[in-house]
Amino acid sequence: MSKFLATVFLCLWAGSLSADVLQTSAGPVQVSKVAEGLDTPWAVGILPDGSFLVTERDGDLLYVSKGKARRVKGAPKVAANGQGGLLDVTVAKNFQRTREIFLTFSKPQKGGAGTALAVARLSEAGDRLTNSRVIFEAVPGGSGGRHFGSRVVEAPDGKLFVTIGDRGDRPQAQNRSNHMGTVIRINRDGTVPANNPFVGQSDIRPEIWSYGHRNPQGAGLDGRGNLWLSEHGARGGDEVNRIKPGANYGWPVISYGVHYSGDKIGEGTSKPGMEQPEHYWDPSIAPSGLVVYSGKLWPEWRGNLFVGSLKFDYIARLSGSNLREVEQIKGPETERVRDIVEAPDGSIWFISVGQGAIYRMVPAS
């Protein structure tokens, strides 16, 4: 089936497609398919009226509303190579006034590609992006197709966090003269906030908020505005980190994993001046999307983290003052979970790359 024909078969809302019931610690939940026929979906952004946007890694942005899907014209040109392409989509908090969305993608650059952030205005009909502009791009570009990171999160104060992987060049995650292996923080117009931790320091990129990251593909805010990341380790050592400004998260000097060859990584599992993860997995689960749940539909899950697993096909629920995985939500629908978000009504939406579909999870009636 061509990508164009596949979009024709997208459907919307619970009840229009099959639903299943999964058992969880909070009781049975209904998991309903809200879109299918997707080609390597990467992220979903839910709009205030219940319609939604979906990115496909090869470069398509889709708008789904009232049972119909259409391609959105004007999406940025991407370097669709390896793990690169059109990646995250985040709906601006003031969307109802501005109609702005944020997109991360692998931008073609001299020598390869780098993670970039664009902001654009979605037309009223949902069929076109206008006033699209790149407000940040990581430098330097890299020739490989690995580790773009690429989640974008809008903080309560309107600042933007973007995660950037090490691009497969491990030592660069400790080199603050470039953006590899960092979380950056910028204003909505792309300028650098004056209170970023490294502003004014020579040979350090002023956008950097934290560094020493390998490939953070999940990011979300808790109720206090703290940023949390899920990060890919190598063989073992996948991490969940609570991000602090100016902090060094250790890659590749410390890790709880080993190289794929089995060789030791760096200097061990700890070193002064480097942060410890809040939780780590060994063996690796290949964590992707992350959300800190509000408790709107499931009060017992308030403040819990939900992280998708690409490797073991489940949604991990993490809880506790000493954060740990306490539950695995698993079914045919959770095949290679790439993104996971909370909708305004408290329902949990997630992308299954393996199924080429998006699902919506609510308490079973």
Q: What is the 3-state secondary structure (H, E, C) of 25-76?
A: CCEEEEEEEEECCCCCEEEEEECCCCCEEEEECCCCEEEEECCEEEECECCC
Residue 143 binned pLDDT confidence (cut-offs 50, 70, 90): confident
Q: Distance between CA 362 and CA 133 in Å, rounded?
A: 36
pLDDT of amino acid 66: 87
- Report pLDDT digits (tens) over 313-344: 999 999 999 999 999 999 999 999 999 999 99
pLDDT of amino acid 18: 63
Candidate list 147, 213, 232, 279, residue with the active-site label: 147
Q: Distance between CA 193 and CA 105 in Å, rounded?
A: 22
At residue 3, does pLDDT exceed 90? no
Determine whether 221 is exposed, middle or buried from the number of CB atoms within 10 Å of its CB (0-12, 13-18, 19+): middle
Share of the chain above pLDDT 90, in %: 91
Average pLDDT (250-275) is: 97
At residue 209, does pLDDT exceed 60? yes
Adjacency order of strands within the sheet including 152-154: 152-154, 160-164, 182-186, 208-211
Q: Distance between CA 365 and CA 363 in Å, rounded?
A: 6
Adjacency order of strands within the sheet including 279-281: 216-221, 227-231, 238-242, 279-281
Average pLDDT (236-261) is: 97
At residue 174, does pLDDT exceed 70? yes
Whether residue 329 contacts residue 22, with contact meaning beta carbons closer than 8 Å, is answered with: yes
Residue 16 binned pLDDT confidence (cut-offs 50, 70, 90): very low
pLDDT of amino acid 9: 46
pLDDT of amino acid 7: 41
At residue 242, does pLDDT exceed 60? yes
Active site residue 232: no
Q: Identify the CA nearest to 287 among candidates 265, 313, 256, 257.
A: 313
pTM: 0.95
pLDDT of amino acid 8: 38
Q: Identify the CA nearest to 10 among candidates 69, 73, 71.
A: 69
pLDDT of amino acid 199: 98
- Is 287 strand, coil or helix? strand
- What is the secondary structure of 217-239 as a DSSP string? EEEEE-TT--EEEEE--BBB-EE
Share of the chain above pLDDT 70, in %: 95
CB atoms within 10 A of CB 124: 8
pLDDT of amino acid 110: 87
pLDDT of amino acid 4: 40
Residue 116 binned pLDDT confidence (cut-offs 50, 70, 90): very high
- Report pLDDT digits (tens) over 51-72: 999 999 999 999 999 888 999 9
pLDDT of amino acid 17: 55
Q: Distance between CA 68 and CA 127 in Å, rounded?
A: 12
Q: Distance between CA 284 and CA 276 in Å, rounded?
A: 17
Q: What is the CA radius of gyration of the chain?
A: 19
Average pLDDT (35-45) is: 97
